[in-house]
Structure 1
Amino acid sequence: MVVISSFLVPKGYVGITIFPFVFLKYDHLKTNAVLLNHEHIHLRQQLELLIIPFYVFYGIEFVIRLLKTKNWNEAYRNISFEKEAYQNERNLEYLKTRSIFGFKNYF
């Protein structure tokens, strides 16, 4: 379910997925197929890890990468979940062929 909320999406981002919702900053983004595909990849990842563990692993991986790079954006972009989503967001058929736990290929 897509929800429009400029208050729930952190500064510097246009979308965030918190199962089962995709929060978008602006209404016009509902038609952005690439962005929605990116967020739907995150929904699949969250389901595979039974939701709460996804956030735990995401947070741990982010902190480790932040300590290593000392750069917020670089750490964020190198989280395995984000790498999978960014590298496949333009492939609108990706979720139809994606293997289970596909994010593990991006560590």
Structure 2
Amino acid sequence: MILISKFFIPKGFQGLTLYPFVILKYATLKSNRELINHERIHLKQQLELLIFPFYVLYGIEFLVRLVQYKNGHKAYRNISFEREAYINEKDLNYLESRSWFSFFKYYKL
């Protein structure tokens, strides 16, 4: 389900996913197929990890990357969940062929 809230989305972001919702900053973003695909990839990741553990692992990995890169944006872009979503957001058929727990392939030390 897609919700619209320009107040809920952090500055610099267009959308976020909190299972089972995709929250977009503006209604016009509903037509951005790559953004929707990116967020759908996150929905799949959240389901695989039974939702709550996804957020815990996401937060821990963000903190590790923040220490590693000393830059919030670079830390965010290097979280394995984000790497999978960004790399595959243009492939609108990705979710049809995606293996379970594929985000592990995007984890790096």
- TM-score interval (norm. to shorter): over 0.9
Rounded Cα–Cα distance in structure 1 between residues aligned with 2:73 and 2:67: 12
AA aligned to 2:76 is Y
> SS of the counterpart of 1:13?
coil
* Divergent runs of 4+, >3 A: none
Matches of residues 1-107 of structure 1 in structure 2 within 5 Å? 1-107=1-107
Listed as ranges, the gaps of 5+ residues in structure 1 are none
AA aligned to 1:22 is V
Percent identity at matched positions? 62
> Which digits, 9 at most, give the CA deviation of each residue in 1:22-43, with x for residues without a partner?
0000110000000000000000
TM-score (norm 2): 0.97
Q: How many residues align?
A: 107
Supply the RMSD in Å over aligned alpha carbons.
0.4
AA aligned to 1:91 is D
TM-score (norm 1): 0.99
Q: CA deviation at 1:7?
A: 1.0
> Which digits, 9 at most, give the CA deviation of each residue in 1:31-82, with x for residues without a partner?
0000000000000000000000000000000000001110001000000000
> SS of the counterpart of 1:63?
helix
Rounded Cα–Cα distance in structure 1 between residues aligned with 2:58 and 2:38: 16
